[in-house]
Amino acid sequence: MATNLCSPEAEVPSKPNLNKYVLTVLDKCNHLNHLKQLQAFLLTLGHGQTQFYAFKLVRFCALTLTNLNYARFIFDHLHSPNVYLFTALITAYVSKSDHKSALLLYRSMIRSGRSKPNHFIYPHVLKACPEISETLGTKSIHTQILKSGFGGYPIVQTALLDSYSRSLSDVGTARKLFDEMVDRNVVSWTAMISGYTRVGEIGNAVLLFEEMPERDVPSWNAVIAGCTQNGLFTEAISLFRRMVVLADRDVRPNQVTVACALSACGHLGMLQLGKWIHGYIYRNNLGPNSFVSNGIVDMYGKCGSLKVAKKVFEEISDRSLTSWNSMINCLALHGQSESAIGVFEKMIGYGGVVKPDGITFVGLLNACTHGGLVEQGCDYFVSMTRDYGIEPEIEHYGCVIDLLGRAGRIEEAMEVVKEMRIEPDEVVWGSLLNGCKIHGRMDLAEFAVRRLIEIDPNNAGYGVMLANIYGESGNWEEVKKVRKTLKEKGVTKIPGCSWIEIDNQIHQFYSADKMHPGSEEIYRILETLVGMY
């Protein structure tokens, strides 16, 4: 039974003390029934329509009790809610990613004409726009901002910049706004950097970062995360090292920073640096934390240190789905198929608390592929939709086609391609091609390569593949035609790349590369090794 915070016997506070009394009672609320008692108390005093108290109730109900339905119930029974009440509810909707409700409520406010927007409401409305209608919503709100005279407010300008930058097609507009801003702060700089990283313009992001008059932790995180998410792992590590060297009390790597750095280490196989970051985390009290722990598991797993990955995984007390996925995918990556499946079965039996998602099944299907578990892999592919309502994405199709192709079940793989609900991509056709080459199905191999060329006609590697297929079948006339076409187009094959970690430094090498400072000595040793055989 809930405690009665506003008993009928309680002495009614005098008017000057009512505000203080309401705030005191709110601080004690930890259940919806408590809030309802306070609401009833205010109604009996004739304050059912008092904006100040309504605002406190709505805001507390929505943000602290996270009960948006009842917050909306209170709101809907107000005769003329003011802009602060609209702002409170819109903020709550945005915080729960209910962007449609946020925009509909804002539209209701504009159409009613009873409350005029101010510069505090626009940043929250703008957060919802890119999630609903790309740039159309942002442009519409931008027009209203200019008409209402709030276009010169820095907080509104930064929100506009961020909203435009979240659209893949409107980063240019965001940059125009940024350049026109008179009062640019670290938040606006970071928003522009994040906009560039979202569309893969890392060069522009780094250039802007270097121009920043002052940097905070989020700005460092924006550029480091941007590099990691766009595959520039070496650059991410370099920036992380700079941040550590320049660190002071106010600007030091936080949990987001180290998670991004660990991800880069995992992709590069930089185990020694990853270990150093692991130590840095505990020396600086950045763990234990599920977010960081997941990054540690992922790093050790990708670097092949599976024993340590398992140890860290077992030490995570409250394992999230990400934790389980990291362990499953790491085991699958290193061919420990049965162990990966065992972790999945353990997760399913974990009291039904954690349910698999699409990433879980990518790991499972990869595990089955590496272990040659064809029937089990096919069962998982069916199960993800039948038992968990997860529609296959392109990655799942690529996995199951690779699984069937490696097993020589090429016709079944082709049936999967035909039944796909989405357009096959390079991974799908590449998986089919690999299976065809293993089992000598040159007819379908040619078909797959031609699909790859249609997707990326400027990739010389696909042309070389096609020429090789014709060569293996003795069709030299077609080989000449393909090579002639490649020469006329002037396309070149992307050189292969490898890297090695020595003394916490990454050394990258491309095919026929002579840019490395030690290239002369490297080639001399290679010639010696070749001469030995």
pLDDT digits (tens, 9 = 90+) for 90-149: 999 999 989 999 999 999 999 888 788 899 999 999 988 887 765 568 888 999 999 989
Percentage of residues of the chain with pLDDT beyond 70: 86
The pLDDT confidence band at residue 62, using thresholds 50, 70 and 90, is confident
- pLDDT of 469 higher than 90: no
Distance of CA 131 to the CA centre of its chain: 15
Helix (H, G, I), strand (E, B) or coil at 519: helix
Measure the CA–CA gap between 10 and 414, rounded to whole angstroms: 76
Measure the CA–CA gap between 336 and 328, rounded to whole angstroms: 9
Contacts for 262 with CB less than 8 Å, ≥ 6 apart: 274, 277, 278, 292, 295, 296, 298, 299
Measure the CA–CA gap between 522 and 504, rounded to whole angstroms: 19
**CA triplet 20, 25, 26: central angle to 5 degrees?**
95
Contacts for 138 with CB less than 8 Å, ≥ 6 apart: 126, 129, 130, 160, 163, 164, 167, 170
Give the pLDDT of residue 1: 42
pLDDT tens readout for residues 1-34: 445 555 544 555 555 578 888 888 888 888 888 8
- pLDDT of 481 higher than 80: no
- pLDDT of 470 higher than 60: yes
Percentage of residues of the chain with pLDDT beyond 90: 46
Query: 182-186, 488-492, 502-506 — which is least confidently predicted?
Result: 488-492
Would strands 505-510 and 497-502 be described as parallel, antiparallel, or unpaired? antiparallel
500 DSSP assignment? E
Tokens encoding 219: 């700005």
pLDDT tens readout for residues 328-371: 999 999 989 999 999 999 998 876 688 999 999 999 999 999 89
Give 165-217 as a DSSP string.
Answer: HTSTT-HHHHHHHHHH-SS--HHHHHHHHHHHHHTT-HHHHHHHHHH-SS--H
Helix (H, G, I), strand (E, B) or coil at 248: coil
Contacts for 228 with CB less than 8 Å, ≥ 6 apart: 236, 260, 261, 263, 264, 267
End-to-end CA distance of the chain: 85
Measure the CA–CA gap between 309 and 314, rounded to whole angstroms: 9
Residue type, 211: E
Residue 230 in contact with residue 200, Cβ under 8 Å? yes
φ, ψ of residue 172 in degrees (nearest 5): -60, -40
Domain ranges for the chain, please list them: 1-116, 319-388, 392-494, 495-533
CA neighbor of 256 nearest in space, from 226, 214, 297, 301: 226
Count of H-run helices and E-run strands, the chain: 28, 2
Measure the CA–CA gap between 190 and 174, rounded to whole angstroms: 12
Query: What CATH class does 392-494 carry?
Result: mainly alpha
Distance of CA 399 to the CA centre of its chain: 21
Give the pLDDT of residue 27: 83
Question: Cβ–Cβ contacts within 10 Å for residue 216, how many?
Answer: 16
Residue whose entry in the numeric block shows the structure tokens 């299976």 = 435
Measure the CA–CA gap between 126 and 139, rounded to whole angstroms: 10
Q: Name the region of 408 (left: φ>0; alpha: ψ -120 to 50; beta: rest).
A: left
The pLDDT confidence band at residue 480, using thresholds 50, 70 and 90, is confident
Give the pLDDT of residue 510: 63
- pLDDT of 49 higher than 80: yes
Radius of gyration of the chain (CA): 29
Question: Residue 134, CB half-sphere, CA atoms under 13 Å: how many?
Answer: 5
Residue 398 in contact with residue 410, Cβ under 8 Å? no
Residue 189 in contact with residue 212, Cβ under 8 Å? yes
- pLDDT of 515 higher than 80: no
Residue 525's Cβ-count burial label (10 Å; 0-12, 13-18, 19+) is: exposed
Residue type, 332: A
The pLDDT confidence band at residue 403, using thresholds 50, 70 and 90, is very high
What is the average per-residue pLDDT within 463-475? 71
Query: 5-9, 71-75, 448-452 — which is least confidently predicted?
Result: 5-9
Give the pLDDT of residue 179: 93
What is the average per-residue pLDDT within 68-80? 91
Give the pLDDT of residue 409: 92
The pLDDT confidence band at residue 483, using thresholds 50, 70 and 90, is confident
Give the pLDDT of residue 521: 79
Measure the CA–CA gap between 493 and 121, rounded to whole angstroms: 53
Tokens encoding 482: 């393909």
Give the pLDDT of residue 239: 95
Query: Mean pLDDT over all residues of the chain?
Result: 85
Give the pLDDT of residue 15: 56
- pLDDT of 474 higher than 80: no
Asked if the peptide bond before residue 130 counts as cis, ω within 30 degrees of 0, the response is no
